[in-house]
Structure 1
Amino acid sequence: MKLKKIYAHGFKSFADPIQLTFDGGVVGIVGPNGSGKSNINDAIKWVLGEQSSKSLRGENMEDVIFGGSKKVTEMKKAIVTLTFDNSEGLVSLPHKTITITRELERGEGKNKYYINDELVRYRDIKDIVLESGISKSSLAIISQGTVSDIAEATPESRRLIFEEAAGVSKYKFRKTEALRKLEKTQESLNQIQVVIKELDRQLKPLRAQADKAKIYLEKARELKAIEVGVLVHNLNFYKEKIEEYNQQLEGVQETKDNLEAAISNSSDHLSQATRERLDIENEIQDTNSRIAKIEEGLSQLQIVFAQEEKHRELIISGDLKASSEQKKEALVASISSTKTTIDFYQKEANKLQSEINDKKEAISQLDKSVNDARITQAKEHKRISEAKTRISILEDHKKNKTNYFKGVKTITENSNIFKGYFGLVVDLLKIPKDYALAVEAVLGNTLQHIVVKDSDVAVQAINFLKQNDGGRATFIPIKSISEKVVRREHLMALSNVDGYLGLASELVSVDNPELEILSKFLLGNIIVTENIEAAKNIDALLSHRYMIVTLYGDIIRSGGVMTGGTPQADATLIGIDDQIQKLKDAIPEMDAIQKRLENQIMIDDSKRKTLQTLISELTVAKTKYETNLQNEEINFAKLKSQYEAISSEKLELKESTEVKTKIQALQSEKVRLSAQRDANSARVKILNQETFRLESEKSEYQKSLIDLEKAFSKVIRERDKASFITQENHKRLSEFYNMTLEVASAKYKFEGDIEAAEEKIAILKSDIKDLGNVNVDAIKEFEEISERFDELKNAENEIIETKVKIETAIKEMDSLIIEKMSSIINEINEEFNNVFRTMFGGGRAEVFYIDPSNPLESGIDIKAQPPGKSVNSLRLFSGGEKSLIAISLLFAILRARPLALCILDEVEAALDDANVVRYAEYLQKLKNKTQFLVITHRHGTMSRVDDLIGATMQTRGVTTFFSVKLSEAKKLVDNPPVTE
C-alpha cells in the first residue's frame, strides 16, 4: 500500500495548506534545521493514531494546532489527510484508494477521524494501521532516536521491533484487548458469583420455608375441601337432630307441664283442705271454749235468776223494800263497768288487727323469698343438666375415642391380640394437672403414639392395620429408643435462672419401671418454664439449642421459632379426665345448693303456714272481741235506757224477765254451738280423708314426673350435645374459613364415609400443627429469588463460556505469535548476517532469544562481530557502529518482511560519509518492495534518492515545501535562506 499524497493544514508549522505527492521509490525531504521538515513525520504519526502529545513533541494535543507567529495568526483547527494506493488489496477495505483524515479543533479537545471522508472511530483507523503494517510505532517510521533505541534498548524493549516485523502487533493488540476483556469478564464473574453465593445462601432456608409453605397450603386446601364439606354435613345433620329432639321435647314438655299442673293442683287442694281442717279444728276449739263460757254464764245467770226470783218474791211479799236511788246507783256502777269493758275490747281488737297486718307483710316477704329461691333453683337445675350433658359428651369422646385417629382406635380395641402392647403415651405418662398444657403442647399427636415392647410387635400391629383397613398409627418400640438429654453444663447454667421449673421428663412419671425410658425419650431434652419471658431468656442463654415450653403451652423451638397464644377450649387427650372429674365434682355442690334452696323453700312454706294459722287465730280472736264489743255496746245502751226509766217494780220484774231471757238465749246458743261443733268434727274427718287422698295423688304425680324427667333429661342432653356440636361447627366455619352455611353449602358437597373424613381431618390438622410456623410469603419470595438466581446462573454460564472462548482465543493467539516470531527470527537471521557483512565489509551478526524456553515473552538480543573485533556487548560499540548495526538490522527486517512504506528521519546522522553512502545505496536495493520517505541533511543520502523535496520557512514559523535538484538541495542544507 503506497503513500500517494499528504495534505496538511493548521498542523504544527503548516499554517499554509501543504500537499506532497509521491510516485514511489526513495524520496528525500531536505532542509535546514528548524525548517519543519520533521513535522511531516509527526503529521503521518498523528493521522495514524498517535495519542501521546509528548511523542509529537508537545505538552498537550492542542499543541499540534498552529499556534501563530508575528505575521500569521493562530489556527483554529488542524487537519491532515494521507492518501494511499490500495490497488494491491493490502487493506481489506473495498477501495483502491484510501484516504485517512484526522481533525482537531481548538477548545473542543475531541478528535475526528475519517476514512474516505466518512466519519469513523479511532479503532477503525487502528485496524487499518495494524492490517497495513505502517503503525505509528512500527518500523515504518524510524527516527534517529529509534535507531539508537534499537542498539541500546533492553532485550525486552527490542522484542517490539521483531513483533512489528513478524506482523504480530495486531495479535498482541488483540491479545491485550482480550486480556482486558478477560479481566473485566473475570471481574463480572466474581461480582455475579458473589451475588449468586448470597442468593444461594438465601435460597437454602427459603427453599425449606417455601416447601413447607407449599405443603401447608396444599394440606390447608385439602383440609378446607374436606372439613367445610363435613361441617356443612354436620350442621345439616345436627339441625335435623335438634328439630327431632325439639319435637320429642314438645310432647315431653306438655306431659311434664300437665304433671306439674296436677301436682300443683293437688298441692293447692291439699293446702286448702289442710287450711280448712285447721280452721275447723280451731273453730271447734273456739266453739268448745264458747260452750264452756256459755255453761259458766248459764250457771251464774241461773244463780242470779234464782236470787232475783227470791228477791222479787220478797218484794212482792213485802218483805223487801228498795228505793229508786239505790237502783240508780246500781245502774251507774253497771254502766261504768260496761264502758270499761267496751274500751278493753276495742283496744284488743285494734291490737290484733295490727298483728294480722304484720303477719301478712311477713307472708309477702316469704313469698318473694320462695320465688327467688325457685328461680335460683331453676338456674342450678339448668347448670346440673348442662354439666351432665357435658359429662355425657366427654365420656362419649372417651369411650368411643372420638379424638383418636382411626388406626389408634383399631389397635386399642384389639390390643389383647398383641403381646408386648403397653398402651398409648397419653395413658402411660402420669402428668400432673399443672403441667398438662405444657406436655400436650410439646407432644401433640405423639400422645396417641402406641408404646410396644419391640419392633416385632410394631410390625405385627402395622400389618394388622393394613389387612383390616384399620387406618394408620405410630408405634414406639421401647427396646429401640434411647433417652434424650440436656448437657450437664447447660443444666448447671439453668439452675439459677428465674422461671426455670425443670426438665419435662422430671415433671412426669410412669408406673411401669420398664417404661422409665419413655419419658426421657419423649421429654428428656425439653425445658419447662413458668412463662414466655423466662423461656426467651433461657433460649438466648443456651443459644437456641433446645425446645422450651411454658406452663401455658407456649413453645420456643430449637433455632428460635416461637409458637403460642390461647389454647383450644375443646377437651384434649390429657385434659378430658380432668374435665369430667371437675364437672362431676361440681355436680354435688350444685345438688347441695338445690337441696339447700329446697330446704329453705320448705322452711319458708312452713313459716308461711304458721303465719297463716296465726292470722286465722288472730282473726278469730279479733272477731270474738268485736262480737263481745258489740254485745257490750248493746248492754251499755240497755243500761242507759234502764237508768232513764226507773220503775221500781217494773224494773225489777223486767230484770228478772231479762235474766230468764238470757238464760234461754244462752241455752239456745249452747245447743247451736254444740251442733256446729259436731258438724265441724264430721267435716274434719272428711278433710282428713281428703288430705290422705290428695297426698297419695300428689305422690303418684311426683313419681310420674320423676320418671318423665329421666327421659326428659336424656333427650335434653342429646339435644344440648347436638347444639354444642352445631355451635362449634358454626364457629369453625365462620371464624376459620370466614364462610356462612349458605355459601359453604353452595360450594362444598360432602359424599363418603364421615368417620374416614373426620379421621383425615384430624390427620391434616395434626400435620399442619406439626409444620409449626409457616411463612406463606416464602413461596413468592423463593420464586423471585430463584428466578433471579437462575438468570444469574445463566449469565454466569455465559460469562464462563465467554471466558473460555477468550482464554482459547488467547492461547490460539499465543501459539500464532510464537509461530510467527520463530519464523521471523529465523528469516531475519538469514538476512541480518548478509546485510551486516555488506554494511561492515565482513564479520557476522545474529539475533537470539534471551530465554529460548519462553519464545512468547522472552527478550531478544543482538550479537554482532565486525571484522577484526570481538565485542560481547553492543554497549561497547561506538555511536556510529551502533547506528550501523541498527540500520543493518532494519534493512534485514525489510528484506525478510518488506513494508509498503518506510519513513526514515535522519537515521544516518551518526554515520560517517562512507557508511552514509553504503546506507543510501542499500535503500536503492530495497525500493522495489518498499516506498521510502527519507528526511535527511546528508549529501551522501541526497545524491542517491530518486526525488528531492525541499523544506524552508520563508515566513517565520510557517513551513513551505517545494521540489528541488540535488545542487539546490545541497545549497539549501549548507547555506539555509534567511527567514523573514
Structure 2
Amino acid sequence: MRLSKLKLTGFKSFVDYTTLAFPSNRIGVVGPNGCGKSNVIDAVRWVMGESSAKQLRGSSMSDVIFNGSRNRKAIEQASIELVFENVNVPQYPQQSEIAVKRQISRKGQSVYFINGVRCRRKDITDLFLGTGLGPRSYAIIEQGTISRLIEARPEELRVFFEEAAGISKYKERRKETELRMRHTRENLTRLEDLQNELDKQLAKLKRQAKQATKFQELKKSHHLLKAQLQAIRWHALDIAVQDQQQYIDEQVAVLEKDLLSLQDFDSTHKQQRKAQNIAQSTLTEAQNNFHIIDTAITKLEQNILHANERCEQLQFDLEQVERLQTETSQTLNSDKQQLVKLETNLVDTEALLTIKLESEAMAEQSLQESQNQLEEWQYNWDAFNQRSAEPTQRAQIERARTENLEQRLEQNKQRLQRLQQENDNLDIIELEQVVADLETKIANVKTDLMQAENILTKHYEEVTKLRSITENQSSQLQEQQAEVHKLNGRLASLETLQESALGTNDNDLNAWLQSYGLHDVPRLAQSIKVEAGWEIAVEIVLGTKLQALCIEDMTILQEALLNPPAGKLSLFEIPHHIENNENNTTSLLLNKIQAPWPLSSLLAGVRVADDIKTACQIRKQLAEHESVITSTGLWFGSQWLYSQQEVDENAGILARKQEITKITTKLDSLNVTVQQLTTELEQNRIALYAQENSREQAQQQFNVTQRQEADLQSKHSGKQVQLEHSKAQLQRLNKEQYELTQQISQDEIDLQTTRDKLHTALEEMEILADERDDLTQQRDLYQETVAQTSQIWQSIKDERHKIEVKLESLRTDQSRLQQGIERLQNQLEQLSEQNYDLQQSLIKQSEPLDDMETELLAYQHKKTEAEEILTQAKQTYEHLEATLNDYDGERHRLEAKCTELRADIEQAKMECQANEVRRQGLDEQLAEMEFGPVALLADLPEYADEKSWHAQIEAVERKLEKLGSVNLAALDEFEEQAERKQKLDEQTDDLNKAMQALENAIKTIDRETKTRFKETIDKVNVFLQDMFPRLFGGGEANIQLIGDDILKAGVTIMAHPPGKRNTNIHLLSGGEKALTAIALVFAIFKLNPAPFCMLDEVDAPLDDTNVGRFCALVKAMSETVQFIFISHNKITMEIADQLIGVTMQEAGVSRLVTVDVDMAVSMIN
C-alpha cells in the first residue's frame, strides 16, 4: 500500500472539505505555529482507529469536530478518509485503491468504512496488522513519540518490535483464542448445570407419568357424572317451564276483562275533553288581548321617559360647547405672541453662524498645509530607510554566511576522514552468495505453497457443498417429522372416537364379552368395505347395527343372554347360506358394500339413487317393505322420509374408518421417508466431519508452508537489504569522498569572498547614520506644527456645531407654533357649528311629549275592560278541569291494575324464557359433552336427584384433588427431555474436543511468536548498528532483552556516541536521545517498512549538523519509504519534493497552499 490522498471535513480546524495529495515520497508540511499542521497527523492517527481522546490532544472524542470560530458556527460531524494505492493487499485483490474512512457525530458515535462499505473498527485494525501502520505504531513519529520511545519502560518498548516483527496479528489471534477458550469453559459449565437439571427433571417426569394415567381415568368418570347431573337439572327446568306457561294463560284472561272496562271510561272522557278545549281557546284569546294592551301602555311610558332624558342631555352638551369656545380663544392669542418673539431670535442666530463658517474654513486650510509638510518628510524618510536597509541586511547575511562556511568547512574535513575508514570495512562477495542460496530455497517453497493452496481450496469447496446438502436434508427431515407428529395426533383422536362410537371402550361390555370368550369377535363396521361416497347412506340405514358383534351362532348365547351386560348390546349372526345374486341390480344399497358374508337380512329392499329427483321417481314404485336412499343420506319410504345431517362429514363410523385407513397408509409412507432421510443425513454428517478434518490438516500444512516462505522471505529481505546497503554504501562513500573534496575547495574560496563583502557593507552603514539624525529633527518640528493647527481647527468646528444645533431647535419651535395656531382656528369654527346644531335639536325634541301622554290615558281604560273578560274565562276553564281530573283518577286506577297484570305476565314470561334458555344451555352443554338428556334420564334410576349426584362428583373431585397438580404431558415431556439429554452429552464431547484444539493453537502461536520476535531483534540490531553511526558520525548502539521468557521479556537500548562510554539511553543528552530514537525507528523501517512514515517536528531538538545528517538519511530511505514530515527547519524543507503550506488567514480555520519544489525551481531557471 502507498498513501496517495488524505481527505478531511470538519476535523478540528479543517472545517471545509480539504484534500492533501501525496504524489511523491518526500512531502513537507510547513506553516506558522498554531495554524493546524499537527492536525494532519492527528487525522491519520484517528482514522486508523485511535480511541483515546488524550492521544488526539482533547478531553473527549467529540473535540475532534470543528467547534466554531468567531465567524463560523460549530458543525455536527467530522470525517477523515485515507486513500491508498493497492499493491499486494490480499483482502482486496481486484481494487486499484483502498479507501479507509471514519465519521463521528456530536453524539460520540464513530462509523467506519472500507471502500465505501461500512465495517467495524476491528476490520480497520486487521487491515493494518503486520504492516507497521496503526494509531500508535512506529509509522507516526512526533516529538511526543520520540519522548515516549526514549522514556518507555522495557515492556512498553517491546510493543514497537512486536509490530515490526509482524506478530501483533498473532497476539490478536492469541487473545481471540483465549477469549474463545473462556467462552468454551463457560459453555461447558452451563452444559454441566443443564445436565444436572435434566437428570432431576427426568426423575420427576417419570413419577408424573404414573399420576397422569390415574388422572385420566378419574377425569372420564367425572365427565359422565357431570353429564348426568346436567340431565337431572334439565328435567327439573322442563317441569318448571310447563307450570309457568299455565300461570301465564290465567293472568292473560283477567287482563282482557279489565281492558274492556277501560274502553268505556275513554268514551265519556273524550266528550268532557272537547268542552275543556273550547273553554281553553276562549281563555287564551282573552289573555292575548290583555297582553297586547298592557304591552302598548309599557311602550308609551318608555317613550315619554326617553324623550325627557334626551332634552336634559342636549342642554348639558350646549353648555360644554360654549365653555370650550372661550378657552380656545385665549390659547390662540397666547401662541401668536410667542411666534413673534421666536422669529426675532432666529434672524440673530443665522447671522452668527455665517461668521463661524468663515473662521472654520481658514483654520482647516492652515491644518492641510501642515499635514502636507509632514507627508513630504515621511516620503523622504521611507526612501532613506530603503537605502539604509540594503547594506544592513547584506552585512547580516554575509556575517551568517561566514560563520556557516567556517563551520561547514571544519565538518567536511572531519567527515572525509571517517568516510575513508568506512570504505576499508565493507565486504560484499559473501553477502551475494547468501542471497543467491536464499532465492533458490524461496522458489522451492513457493511451489509447495501453491500445491497446498490448491488442495486447501478443493477441501473448502467440498465442505461447503456437504454442509449445504446436510442443512437441506435436516430441514426436510424436520418437515417430515412434523407431518408424522401431526398425523399421529389426528390418528389417535380418530381411533379414540371410533372406539367410543363402536363401544369397544365400554368396560362392563368388555368384561361380559371376555367372560363368554367373545372379546376377539369383530364388529360389523370393521368387517365391511363401502364404496366411496356411500358411507353416510350405509351408516344411516345400518345405524347402531354397525356396532354389532359378528358371531357364528347366536344360539350358543341363550344362557348368556339371561344375564345381559349393562348398556347396549348388538349381535349379528353370520349367514351360512350362499346368497342368490341373479336378481341383484346395481340399484340396491347392498351392492355398494363388500362384506365376507351376505347382508341381505340388514339391507333387503333398500335401493339407491344418485340424486333427490331420481329418488322421488323411484319412491312412487316402492312396496311397503322397500325404501330408497341418496348418497347424501336422504332416506325415502313409500310413506315416510328420514334425514340425519352431520356437521362434520367425517363424524360417521364408516367415514372415520376410511380416514383412519388413509392416515395409516400415509404414515407408513412417511415413516419410510423419515428413515431414509435420517440414514442419508447421518452418512452426510460423517462425510462432512471427515472432510472438515481433512480441511484442517490441509490448512495446517498450508500454514506451515506459508510460515516457511515468510521466514525465508524475511531472511532474504534482510540479507538483500544488507547487500544493497553495502553496495550503495560503497558507491555512496566514493561519491561522497569526491564531493567532499570539491566542496572543501569551493568553501575556502567562498569564505574569502564573503569576508570582503561584509567589510564593504559595514563602511556604508557608518555613512548613512549622520543622515538619519537630520531627518529625525525635521520630523519633530513638523509633528508639533500639525498638532497646534489641528487643535485650533477643532475648537472652531465645535462652536459652529453648537450654533447649528441651536438654529435647528429654533426652526423646529417656529414650525410647531404655526401648526398650533392653525389647529386652534379650525377648532373654533367647529365649536360654533356644534352650538347651532344643539339648539335646533333641543327645540325638536320637546314638541311630541303632549300627544304621547293623551294616548297613554286611552290605553289604560281599555286594559280595565280586558281584565274583567279574562277573569270570567278563567273560572269556566277551572270548573271543567276539575271534572276531568275526577275521570282521570278512576281511569288511572284501571290502567295501574292493567299495568300490574302486564308486569306479572311479563315477569312470568321472562322467568319461563330464562328457564327455557337454561334448559337450552344444558342441551348445548350436553351436546358438547356428546350426550343427550333423554338418553341419560332413561339410564338414571328413579331416586336420582341433584344432591346425591353432587356428592358423587365431589367424591371424584376429592380423589382428583388428592392427586394434586398433574402433568398430563409428562410422557411426551419425558421422551423430549431424554432426547435433549443425549444431545447435551454430544455437545459436551464436542466442546471438550474444541478446548483441546484451542490449547494446541495457543502453543503454535507462542512458538511462532518466539521465533519471529528473536529474528526481528537480531535484524533490527544489524540495521541499528548501521543507522546509529550515520546519524552520530560514529559510535555504535545495540538492543538487549531483559528477562528469560522471550514472550514477556522487555527491550532496552544501549548507546555509545562518539567519544563517550557505552551507556543506557536514559543517561544521554536531549539531542542524543532524539537521534538514538530516530536511528531505532529507521532501523525498524529497514526491517519492515511501513507504507509511509509521518514525522512531526522530530528535527526540532537537533542542531544544523545533526539536521543535515538526519535529512541525508531521510533522503536515502525515501527510495523505498514515503515520508511526510512537518518542520520549521529550512534545511529539512529543502529535501521535500512537494511543500504543503498550512495557513490560518481566517481565525480558527486551516487552509492549504501546495508547492511543487522541482516545478518551482524549473520555472526560476
**What is the TM-score of this pair, normalised by structure 1?**
0.40
Give the structure with the larger helix fraction.
2
Say which one has the larger Rg. Answer: 1
